[in-house]
């Protein structure tokens, strides 16, 4: 494994943090600090702000910067804080990454460019251009269900040779593809699951950990699951996975982070509602969440 990968220790449980909003749907920075502290207190080994779960498409540049600075101030001395800085424009991604570096981020995550659907050579050049514009360690994010483009294992093999590209968040929905990614990068970067429900299958084929949504409400259990598996306690990890599986699924009963924000309200950590074009969870969706949280042993206070 490359030297920078070895020195970039983000741990096995990175939480993709929701962005709290107040009643007027302005970013609630005080609640963001409280949520970040809750995540670290319940097992997160690193926090990602300004990702899709954080509603990045509807945050302004100024909001993203202030949110990052807020979370850094709240927990940056306890865990690494990463910033989501990628979009469909390479030049804008470069500027956002430089802005995050100036703010003190410990790393950045770059989602595959969405909507414009670049070919593989375009993906390679995009990620390499952004990575070369910063000294920060970089995580690539592959989520074809949202972006409309799938990063191939061959492209990831090429990207793994870029010194500061150290990790991949793989959310292609396939353990087979995850295995191909692990095989392609040959230990030059760490592969993280981008789907809570596939974390254990992906770790079985070589993934290192998870960039999680469920850890907002079940952080200790998610961390125990990944650490048990890494330590060879497969039976214990499998039992936890089975118990949490209804929760993993319920948190995606509709578009993320709609169910997550409802779940946070249910455990007494109100993060407000999502901004349009996302909408609040329906009563039927909340009922699904309640049942799943009960099955998972997550205490509901609201």
User: pLDDT tens digits, residue range 140-173?
Assistant: 999 999 999 999 999 999 999 999 999 999 999 9
CA–CA distance, 22 with 129 (Å, rounded to integer): 37
Q: Are 269 and 34 in contact (CB under 8 A)?
A: yes
H helices present in 167-252, as ranges: 175-185, 199-204, 215-230, 234-250
Residue 8, pLDDT score: 77
Which residue, 158, 168, 189, 131, is CA-closest to 7?
189
To the query of whether residue 64 is one of the catalytic residues in this protein, the response is: no
Residue for token pair 């294992």? 153
Amino acid 87: pLDDT: 96
Contacts of 199 by beta carbon, 8 Å cutoff, 6+ apart? 193, 207, 209, 210, 212, 222, 225, 226, 241
* CATH H-level superfamily of 3-236: Aldolase class I (3.20.20.70)
Q: Concatenated DSSP letters for 20-70?
A: -B-TTS-B-HHHHHHHHHHHHHTT-SEEEESSTTTTGGGS-HHHHHHHHHH
Residue 4 pLDDT:
66
Q: Give the pLDDT confidence score for residue 301 in this predicted structure.
A: 85
The confidence score (pLDDT) of residue 154 equals 98
Q: What is the pLDDT of residue 2?
A: 55
Q: Are 209 and 12 in contact (CB under 8 A)?
A: yes
CA distances from 206 to 143, 166, 180 (A): 19, 15, 10
Low-confidence ranges of the chain (pLDDT < 70): 1-7, 302
Please report, for the chain, the start and end positions of each structural domain, with discontinuous segments joined by +: 3-236
Does 117 qualify as catalytic in the annotation? no
As a whole number of Å, the end-to-end CA separation of the chain is: 46
Measured distance CA(80)–CA(283) in Å, rounded: 36
Task: Give the span between the Cα atoms of 15 and 219, in whole angstroms.
Answer: 9
Q: Which of 29, 114, 124, 141 is catalytic?
A: 141
**Annotated catalytic residue: which of 114, 124, 169, 192?**
169
Residues 6 or more apart from 5 whose CB is under 8 A from it? 166, 167, 188, 189, 190
């Amino acid at each position: 494994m490359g030297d920078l990968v070895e020195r970039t220790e983000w741990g096995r449980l990175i939480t993709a943090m929701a962005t709290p909003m107040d009643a007027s749907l302005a970013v609630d920075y005080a609640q963001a600090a409280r949520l970040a502290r809750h995540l670290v207190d319940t097992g997160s080994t690193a926090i990602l702000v300004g990702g899709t779960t954080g509603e990045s498409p509807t945050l302004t540049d100024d909001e993203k910067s202030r949110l990052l600075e807020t979370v850094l101030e709240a927990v940056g001395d306890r865990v690494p804080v990463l910033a989501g800085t990628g979009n469909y424009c390479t030049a804008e991604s470069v500027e956002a990454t430089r802005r995050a570096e100036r703010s003190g981020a410990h790393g950045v995550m770059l989602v595959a460019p969405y909507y414009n659907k670049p070919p593989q050579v375009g993906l390679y050049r995009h990620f390499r251009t952004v990575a070369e514009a910063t000294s920060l360690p970089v995580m690539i994010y592959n989520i074809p269900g949202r972006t409309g483009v799938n990063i191939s294992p061959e492209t990831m093999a090429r990207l793994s040779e870029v010194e500061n590209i150290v990790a991949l968040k793989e959310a292609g929905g396939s353990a087979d593809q995850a295995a191909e990614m692990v095989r392609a990068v040959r230990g030059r970067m760490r592969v993280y699951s981008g789907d809570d429900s596939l974390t254990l299958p992906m770790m079985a084929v070589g993934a290192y950990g998870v960039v999680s949504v469920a850890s907002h409400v079940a952080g200790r259990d998610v961390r125990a699951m990944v650490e048990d598996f890494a330590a060879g306690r497969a039976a214990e990890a499998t039992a936890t996975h089975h118990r949490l599986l209804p929760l993993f699924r319920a948190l995606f009963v509709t578009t993320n982070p709609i169910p997550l924000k409802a779940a946070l309200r249910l455990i007494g950590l109100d993060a407000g509602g999502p901004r349009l074009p996302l909408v609040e969870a329906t009563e039927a969706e909340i009922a699904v969440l309640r049942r799943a949280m009960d099955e998972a042993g997550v205490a509901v206070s609201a």
